[in-house]
Amino acid sequence: MHPLLLPLLVTGCSLSLLSCCSQEAPAAAPVAPAAEASNTVPATTPSVETPATSPTNPSEPAAMPTQPTGYNKLTAEEARVILQKGTEWRGTGEYTSNKAKGTYLCRQCNIPLYTSDQKFESNCGWPSFDDEIEGRVDRHPDPDGMRVEIVCANCQGHLGHVFEGEGFTDKNIRHCVNSISMRFVPAGQELPKPIVLPKAK
């Protein structure tokens, strides 16, 4: 091999590995997932979740909201994601590769959100669904206007983000959901009673 070609080959391999790692970071990766600039991206580069930060100081985490009394008690990590709009590390969620039949509920209020028939493999590192149970998921544009957040329609707990135009399924939509925001109930098991609190006047 000509000695002048070696640096080019090394550089090309390095760039390829960097691109791969940016989409499939290992669980122990010390850096947070990268934010996407658009809600519509090619199918080969699925958009990723990003940890919440303070709107006044992006270098600081957002303040922890208080959980309304009456819902399922959350652990500190569950509260960080569901209340503070945080994000699990890519590839670490309990349900990312779950293929069992059943129903995915909101972890905070037990409302059914998705069915296993709506789940698909996107290889983005988080559970992906191409539809929700009708009326159970609300959408809110992020403050920066770059993405669309999805929350439980009942308790407004943070689920993740929704992306369109990626071409993964015929519905051309992907709900990118944190596993920790949900609870999975296998088919045939009784679903817990939903917790619906009175609306504040």
Q: Tell me the catalytic residues.
A: 176
Look at residues 105, 107, 49, 97 and name the one whose alpha carbon lies nearest to residue 75.
Answer: 107
Whole-number Å distance between alpha carbons of 113 and 131: 9
152 phi and psi, to 5 degrees?
Answer: -65, 130
Sign, Cα dihedral of 80, 81, 84, 86: positive
Chain center to CA of 13: 30
